[in-house]
A and B are shown apart, each in its own frame.
Chain A
Amino acid sequence: MKLSQLEVGETGIVKEFTDLEMSVKLMEMGCLPGEEVRISRIAPLGDPIAISVSGYQLSLRRFEASTIILQ
């Protein structure tokens, strides 16, 4: 399952990434395998989304979220 498939309020645990370039940027921001992520909100126009991860809020586009595979 991909992170982009979660609804607001749902949580998941990051398993792996499908895109090396994005994974490097996401991991730097504390979004890495084993971390719990939760969809906090979706932007008014449906994209980007905001997730809460390692204790703070991170915003990313749906495409970027689709490169994150959950357990």
Chain B
Amino acid sequence: MTDDATAKLDTFPKWLAYNAAVRPVRPAMRHKDLGIWKEWSWAEVNDIVRALTLGLMAHGLERGDKIAIIGSNRPKLYWSIMAAQMAGAVPVPVYADAVADEMAYVLEHAEVRFACVQDQEQVDKLLAISDRLKTLDMVFYDEPRGLRDYDHARLRPIEDLISQGKAQILADPDAVRRLDARIAEGGGDDISIILYTSGTTGRSKGVMLAAGRCVAAARDTVAFDRLTDRDQIIAYLPLAWVGDHYLNYAQAIVAGCTINCPESPETAVEDRREIGVTFAFAPPRVYESLLTRIMIRMEDAGWLKRRLFHYYIGVAKRWGEKILDGKPVPLPARLNYALGHLLIYGPLKNVLGMTSVRVAYTAGEAIGPELFSFYRSIGLNLKQLYGQTEAFLYVTCQTDTAVRADCVGPATPNVDIRISESGEVLYRSPGQFLGYFKDPEKTAEAMTEDGYVRTGDAGFFEKDGQLRIIDRAKDVGRLRSGALFAPKYLENKLKFFPNIREAVTFGQGQDAVTAFINIDLTAMGNWAERNNVSYGSYQELAAHPQVYEIIAGHVAEINRQLAEEPLMAGAQIARFLILHKELDADDGELTRTQKVRRGFIAERYAPLITALYDGSTEAAISTEVTFEDGRKGVISARLRVMDARTFPVPAAAPARAA
């Protein structure tokens, strides 16, 4: 690929034509249908998309019109996105599992004129909300099953559009000229796509992305991970999510690699294995469920296999990551690891469909260090990235040689990151959005005056230049001394100890940080058994002096770690207590997704917080609890408040968040 030839390609349709000319016979897309992988080359895809574009234009599609794309990862829907862009229209992918009402909001807000949908299910949803969708003219569908008896006045199969367009290309040179003119008219400033945020906090917002910026961002990361037209990716992420549009669409088109569409969402793992994917992405929970599945299956395996497995996983744990990182490893260990690869890691990766994976990413939430290390130790090049829809995905990503579980890597090439006064991560990136659709106010809120985008996350740079995300910015506070206080960051650190199940930290506007701690009954109970400590209840074990000693050790360890982080050194935990009961969603202390409700807890245990700050060594508390059968009762206890060992900040003047 010569840079000169591709420099002028500022839209995806132009890239499509380029791929069709440069690598006409390389596979562009595959789809497993009726048990067989069907394949389309770049030239074929280009022809189909051109035909589909003409088909859409014949229905009156104008530049700037919005087309909803609803369904799972199927070639016809990807072609619809490409065709919309080719015609200068704007595709608006919508989450296929959205209920009709949510869908209505997005479609109404985006003023869609057409919709390309997967099947009867989606057609039914659109029909149910059609009275709200004044602008919707036509619906095109992929899968005809069940739709035969529907009124076809405003309904047509996508297949028809393609054949209509193909006939037009053969018969009507004028149409071809019109099409080429449309493509040429498209430029880097066009809105390439509008991606609606999932809207966990309030109504979803339509993120407008420009064609030229999308292409530029994709070029950077394609070069960064050295993707070529030999790479294979599997498209199983939701179409409406930026991850799919970036990793499976934009990168694939720019790199010329193959987009493989699984047979159904459930078969993605099996299909990945058949294809031999080379570039993979999955959120942490996917890696976690895969690992759990392996572990459960290993428990069912025979004695010898189980022994072998555990022995070699041990070897991998010790040496695997060092070998992957290219660090010096003694020869015998290397040989043993190679044997392990032959016996265990190789077959394991094969079962996971990761034998050929060259680059794997995870993102979206914090990944447990153990989980992360497991995959890396068996030789999977798993890395983290950090990004958001507004950036067109990448803000930071890790290089192959510097990977760690607690950071998300340095800025991606050409991305400029700054940490604001309040500790919020700000960035400017090549793929950066144009604004929220029809919402200049929200756009202004999301930007700084000098053009940086606010992520809403608080973070800081580690010594090695990697960004560490600590918390949502709105949760991060300051002590009275001005030191940064990130509750979730501290709590996650505490919870990293198996003995600590839950932790709640306080400190906003106070002189020091204090913590409530919940012990983990399984882990601590196990310890009690081994050390002949008898206890009658959770409350009794929690109040045991030896337990306090152990937890005090953990807190001291955290403080020692914090002392080494200039930014966090001021937020060492000064005092703590162990709660007499487990925090429970039934009592409203946790959300149903097991997140602590800090405000509610502070109110409920106000006397304890007072005791943490007034220097007393004991505090009385009685709380109402809800038992599993719904009855209510009161638990009273006198809890011990303990001072924790803190560490002096290293001599070098601590660099406060400026």
Do A and B make up one complex? no
Q: Taking beta carbons and an 8 Å cutoff, which residues of B are in contact with A?
A: none
